[in-house]
Amino acid sequence: MELSPLILKWLTFLLRWGHVFFAITWIGNSFLFNYLDNKLKKNLENSDIFILPSLKEGLSIALVEAMCMETLCLVSKPSNHSKIIINNKNGYEFELNEESFSRIFKKINTLRFKNKEKIIKNAKKTVKKLISKNIIFEKKIIDTLLSNHQ
Express each pLDDT in 84-126 by its tens digit.
888 889 888 888 888 888 888 888 888 888 888 898 899 988 8
Q: Is the pLDDT of residue 37 over 80?
A: no
Q: Is the pLDDT of residue 137 over 60?
A: no
Q: Is the dihedral of CA 113, 114, 117, 123 positive or negative?
A: negative
List the one residue out of 4, 84, 17 whose CA is nearest residue 50. Answer: 84
User: Is residue 74 within 8 Å of 49, Cβ to Cβ?
Assistant: yes
- Per-residue pLDDT at 32: 64
- Per-residue pLDDT at 118: 92
Q: Is the dihedral of CA 40, 45, 47, 51 positive or negative?
A: positive
